[in-house]
A = this chain, B = another copy of it.
């Protein structure tokens, strides 16, 4: 079994590579080769018995996809992409990486002709306000960002290339991944992780929106579980609608904070500073809140059941179980 991961230097990509190395197998087959691609060199995980190759470059450059496909990977995880804020700030870069890069990879897979499983990370950013109370699986995708538009185009191509038999694709729409390890970033969603991660590390965190804001989260651990599960499910059972909204935990910011208090006490919660930010608030207002995600659940995708679980996953995976 040969596995290719694009975007392997990103947060989810690194965790996926580590998980593949730890499992040593995928879909019940031993992994003999692991190709890790990104614009910068990904870190090779320790993996006995498998050839790990590090590839760098821009997928949209002619020939890049063909080179990655030369080894005929059996499963391709396509995670590469420019994030939401960057795609909005830099129009050309976003379309080049997220649309042209994805299409070039998909075309390289088509031309390779061996019909592998392709798992594509899409995003709930394909949805745009106004929303019903709970977003059903058959709700239309009307993105309000260039990032969401590019993900929607990727989804459409994935479904068509699958229908035509070029590959066997599964698109997974990730909710907000929380708690993200590392430092705060410039994403408008950064605070959802920040208000948990920073207090757990004894640091202050800013809360830029009202506590009533409801949003859907899944842990980085769940994101990796989604990817692994998507690699293994039966495409026939999925049918022609290949893009699936992933499950998650829908909670208000207030409920996030209550969970933090249950796990880390009042002292942690006191490190959260309410600092209203109109810019962040205006963006967050347009985001989806709750999802039905019935199809994904029926297909066996599972996330955490509570935000407490999400915090505990962070403590176990990032803080060696200690706070």
Contacts and interface: CB of A to CB of B under 8 A. Distances in A.
A281 interface: no
Interface in A135-190: 137-144, 146, 149, 152-153, 156-157, 159-160, 163-164
A91 B160 CA distance: 11
A192 to B, nearest CB: 24
Contacts of A138: 139-140
A294 interface: no
A208 interface: no
Nearest to A149: B160
A122 to B, nearest CB: 13
Which of A128, A146, A153 has its CB near the most chain B CB atoms (within 10 A)?
A153
17 contacts: A128-B240, A128-B241, A138-B139, A138-B140, A139-B140, A141-B141, A142-B159, A143-B159, A143-B160, A144-B163, A146-B160, A149-B156, A149-B157, A149-B159, A152-B156, A153-B156, A153-B157
Most B C-beta atoms less than 10 A away, residue of A140, A164, A241: A140
B164 A91 contact: yes
A30 to B, nearest CB: 35
A24 to B, nearest CB: 36
A163 B142 CA distance: 11
A152 B149 CA distance: 11
A156 B143 contact: yes
A96 to B, nearest CB: 12
Contact residues on A (Cβ < 8 Å of other chain), bracket: 20 to 34
A79 to B, nearest CB: 21
B144 A141 contact: no
Nearest to A142: B241
Given A156-B156, A159-B149, A142 B91 contact: no
Contacts of A149: 156-157, 159-160
Contacts of A143: 156, 159-160
A149 B240 CA distance: 13
Interface string A288-299: 000000000000
Nearest to A129: B240
Contact of A144 (B139, B153, B157, B240): B240
A144 B241 CA distance: 9
Contacts of A137: 140
A33 to B, nearest CB: 30
Contacts of A159: 142-143, 149
Closest 3 CB pairs of A and B: A149-B160, A138-B140, A142-B241
Given A91-B164, A142-B159, 14 more contacts: A128-B241, A137-B140, A139-B140, A140-B140, A142-B240, A142-B241, A143-B159, A146-B160, A149-B156, A149-B157, A149-B159, A149-B160, A152-B156, A153-B157
